[in-house]
Every structure is written in C-alpha cells, then in structure tokens.
Structure 1
Amino acid sequence: MSSREPSGEPASRPSEPADAPASVSGRGAAPGPAARRGPRARTLAALVALTLSLGAVAGVAAQRYIAVHLRAPPKVPACVRGARVTLRKPVTASGSEPRQTVSGETVYLTPGEDLAVACAFQVDERLARHLAGALAEHEPARRAARLLEIVRDHIPADPAHDRTAAAAYMMAAAAMRPLPVEVPGVSAAAEELEQRHACRFGTRRVCPTRPPPPPIVWIAGVPAALSALSLVWIGLAAGAARYGRWRASRRRRSRGALEDRGARAARLS
C-alpha cells in the first residue's frame, strides 16, 4: 500500500519528543557567589548610609551645642602670663604709677599692677580701666568684689568678647590669689569667679547652669554609633574569614608540593 495521503503528500512522521532541559531554569541549583554577595552588599550599603546620615545629624547638633556652651578659651596676649605672676604677689607698698579708671578718676598702682593694666590695654581699653579701679582697692573684700565685677558685669556674654573675658578672668584670679580667704566675701568672690569662667568656656569644672546637649544628639548619635560598630564587626569577620581561606589554600599548596616530591622520589627509586 502507498504511504501517501489522499492529497498526494507523503505521510508525516510522528515528531520525536524534544530533549528535556537539563534543569528547569535553575530550580534546585545552588546559588552562586554573585547571588550570595548581593544581599550582603545591600546590607553593608544600608549600614553605611545609616551611619553617615545619622552621624551627620548628630555631629551638626553637637557642634552647634559646643560652639555655644563648650567653647574653648581663646588665646590671650603673652603679657597676660607675666601679669599673672606679678599680681599673685602680695602688695606691700603704696602705688606710685598713675592710671585712670572708667570714671576718669586717677589712681596710683604699684609697678606690678601697672604692668597688668598696660597688658590689659592690649586686649581692651575698658577692661584696663576697670582693672585699674579694682587694683586700687586695698581692702580685701572690696578688692575681691571689684575684681569679680569685671568678669560678671562689664564683659558681654557674646562670643565676640571671649578674648577679653579670658584675659580678665586670668588677671582677676591672679589678683585674688594673695587675698586672705578668711576675710568674709573673698572666698565667695573667688568661687563665683571660677564658676562664671567654667560656665562661659568648656573647662574641667562643671557648670551647674549649663543646659544638657539637645536630645537629637543622643537620638541620632546612638544608632549611628551602633551602626559603626556593626560595620567594624563585619569588617573584622570578613578579614578573619579571608585570612582563614588564605591559610587553608597555603596548606593545600604545601601538601600538594610534598606529595609531588614524594611521587618523584618514588619514581626515581
């Protein structure tokens, strides 16, 4: 019988089934290194972004707080240190050097006191005249009160006057040093002078009236610090793992070299 169909065309052979794919689009296949590296890289990027963003917010807030409440004392003229040395010495003689006070009154100071006033003129003229009036006082309590008034009442709190405030504190504190602390008012004036200096600048002394840092410093700073610690830990773990792989590879190479030498020795023998 003919194998042709009624139309005259040869009968088509049944198609053979196509070969089945070796694997169905990766089902059951173990993820490669690139696939494993993707989530890890995204986690690291998220931690870095979190650390930088929160750290920037906390850093800006902390810098603003420090600029207002924890300013470092500015540099003062070198003569201030010399003036401090002379002012710490007790006054044993009457003054002979004329100086004018803020009110225009002429007072007479000792050579050491006159040197301190001349140094104060290099910082601020009004400071020098206030200092001249305070040093002209010989009664200890009155002298201490006038020295305290210079820092407390006659120097603005604006940071633009920090240099004047620092110089005034250094010379006033030195002038209070030889005063007898048992006299009423001297010890209290010295304590208030130290307290006012500590509240104006960032010193080792604690200022009871200084406000705490703003909450944003802690709200943003603590998570930023934790994120940074996480990054450090991840880096250390990755470094340790890489070092372990390097040691294992080195041991395998050493073992292979020993086996090759043993095989060559066996063939030669």
Structure 2
Amino acid sequence: MSSREPSGEPASAPGTGEERAAPDASEERAAADASEERAAADASEERAAADASEERAAADASEERAAADASEERAARPGVGARPGVGARPGVGARWIAALLALALALSLGAIAGVAYQRYAAVHLRELPKVPRCVRGARVALRRPVAVSGTEPRQTASGETVHLTPGEDRAVACALQFDEALARHLAGALAEQAPAQRAARLLELVRDRVPPDPAHDRSASAAYMMASAALRGLPEDAPEVRAAAEALELHHACRFATRRACPTRPSPPALVWLAGVPAALSLLGLFGIGLTASAARYRRWTARRGR
C-alpha cells in the first residue's frame, strides 16, 4: 500500500471560483442596465425631435394660411397695395390674351386668304403690262381713216407680200421689235380694205393669234391697243365693226384687270372668303380691344387729374 507524500504546494481554498463568477454577472447586469438607459434616452430624444418637427410644420402651415388669407383680403379690397390714386384694374390680363389671340388669328387667316387670292389674281386678274413706246405712236397713225392704197411692202404670216400705208407700216415695224409672228398677222389684217373683213381680221389677231399664257401678255396688250385704234378708223355705223369692237373690248377685259367686268371670269375661290372674313373680324376685334383699353386709360387719367 503506497502512501502519498505531501508535495509542499498549498491546497486551493474551497469556494474561490464561485466568488469570481459572482462579480462578472453583476458587471453584465450593470452593462445591460446602462444600455437600456441609453436606448431609452435615445428614444426620448427622437420623440422630442419629432414633436419639435411637427410643431415647426404646424407653425409654417399656420403662417402660410395667414399669408394666403392676407392676400385674399388684399385682392378683395381694390386699391390695397397699389400706388396712391391708382385703383385696381381687373381684366387687364384677359384683354391682353384676347388681343394676342385676335392678332394671331388675323395674321394666320389673313396670310391664307392672301395666298389664295394671289394665286387667283395671277390667272384671272393680271395687271396690264408695259408696252414699247412705239405702240402709242402707232395707235395715233392707225386711227386715221385709210384713203389711199399702201405702198410699203410687208410680208404676212402666209408668206404673201402686201402693201401698207406709212401709218400701217409704222405699226407693223413696231410689232416686229417684240413679236415677229404678231407683226406678220398684223400686216395681213391691215392689208384688208373692206371694213367688215378688216374688223374681223383685227379681232382674230387679238383673240386667236396671241397665246393666252402670261408670257405673252405684253404682245396681247400691244395687239389690243393697235387693233382698237385701227377699228376706230373704220365706219362706226357698220354693224360688223361695232360687233368686232365690242368683242375686242370684252376679250381684253377678261384677260386683264380693267374697269370693265368680265362675265366669264370665275369668282374668287371659297378659301378667300372662309379665311378672309374671320381675319377681318379678328382685326375688328383687335381694334375694339385697343379702343376699350385707350378709353379705360383716359378715364383713369381724368380721375387722377380731378383729385
């Protein structure tokens, strides 16, 4: 039987581990309590901040409502916040809007109507073109009645050679300066001696020998001036001469914009009226708005002077 000898080390005292564990648990509880206190403090601060934000928002809303009420009161009381002696002017903005709308309508619709009318006038209401100066001198010579046979040779459109008087030859020479074909047809018409045949050939010259497109308007106007002058040199009591002169005037009036009305000329297109009438009414409305504004300004001016 072996025996354990004493080692010389002191034996551990009973209960030492339990004593160390107790202080550790106390510290943990204290730390947990401190954390809870800090969390409670943070929550209190957050609630206080939220309450302060709500109070500020309520104060701002109250101020906005008060400002809106004050603005409504100033708007309801004319003259408040304005210059001394100047009252409120209701409807100024509405007048400006109406004026701008009227101006826009007048400009847009007026442009549409103007373009449509210009296209119509370019075909049916062409202006009289300028003719050479020699045409006016030829007219004076052609008005004189033909008493003798001509001696000046000229060639017609068919290649025939005819003899004309000095006045007739002057007219043909003038036509040669701007339209050779017209000059040859004119020579053939002036070569006729019988009044009825001469009148018929002169009418044919203007009506059938000059193309209707605008490029030949100069020749058409010159041919009319010389043919009408030559018809005046014929006996006026001849019915053929009167009929030819009437037909010549009517043809000229239908080709150009003259004082005489043309029965076959079409009326302006409907677009001219559909756009032009509202444009004119818009201009009248704009004029009325301007008169109303001027009258109101005059009344305010007289009211200030009367004070």
Q: In which range does the TM-score fall when normalised by the shorter chain?
A: 0.7 to 0.9
Alpha-carbon spacing, 1:131–1:23, altered in 2? closer, same or farther (3 Å): closer
| Residue 184 in structure 1 maps to residue 239 in structure 2 | yes
- Using the TM superposition, give the Cα deviation of residue 96 of structure 1 relative to its aligned residue in structure 2, in angstroms: 0.8
Aligned partners of 2:172 and 2:180: how far apart in 1? 9
Unaligned runs of 5+ in 1: 1-8, 10-14, 253-269
Alpha-carbon shift at residue 22 of structure 1 (Å): 6.3
1:68 has 2:119 as partner: no
d(CA) in 1 for partners of 2:212, 2:183: 18
Q: Does 1:159 align with 2:214?
A: yes
Of the structure 1 ranges 180-189 and 21-30, higher mean CA displacement relative to structure 2 is found in: 21-30
Aligned with 1:168 (options 217, 223, 226): 223
Letter paired with 2:125:
L
Correspondences of 1:29-178 after superposition (within 5 Å): 29-30=74-75, 36-178=91-233
1:34, distance to aligned residue in structure 2 (A)? 8.4
Flag the 1:34–1:241 CA change in 2: closer, same or farther, 3 A.
Answer: closer
Which residue number corresponds to residue 246 of structure 1?
A: 301
Number of aligned residue pairs: 240
Q: Do 2:155 and 2:184's aligned partners in 1 also have CA atoms closer than 8 Å?
A: yes
Larger radius of gyration: 2
> Under a length normalisation based on structure 2, what TM-score does the superposition of the two structures give?
0.73
Give the percent of matched residue pairs that are identical in Structure 1 and Structure 2. 65
Matched AA of 2:305:
R
Does the C-alpha gap of structure 1 residues 63 and 22 become closer, same or farther in structure 2, counting only changes over 3 Å?
Answer: closer
1:211-249 deviation line (CA, Å, top 9, x unaligned) = 000001111101100110111121122223223322332
For residue 74 of structure 1, what is the amino acid of its counterpart? Answer: P
Q: Deviations over 1:248-268 (max 9, x none)?
A: 32343xxxxxxxxxxxxxxxx
Larger deviation, residues 88-97 vs 18-27: 18-27
Cα distance between partner residues in 2 of 1:100 and 1:155: 18
| Conserved? CA contact 2:120–2:268, under 8 Å | yes
Distance 1:38 1:241 in 2: 14
Shift of 1:29: 4.3
Q: Distance in 2 between matches of 1:214 and 1:248?
A: 52
Cα RMSD for the two superposed structures: 2.5
TM-score, normalised by the number of residues in structure 1: 0.82
Residue matched to 1:212: 267
- Aligned equivalents of 1:125, 1:223: Cα separation in 2: 50
Local SS of the residue matching 2:201: helix
- Structure-2 residue corresponding to 1:224: 279
Answer 1 or 2: which has greater helix percent: 2
**Unaligned segments of structure 2, at least 5 residues:** 1-43, 45-54, 79-87
Q: Secondary structure at the match of 2:75?
A: coil
1:89 shift after superposition: 0.7
1:23 Cα deviation after fit: 5.2
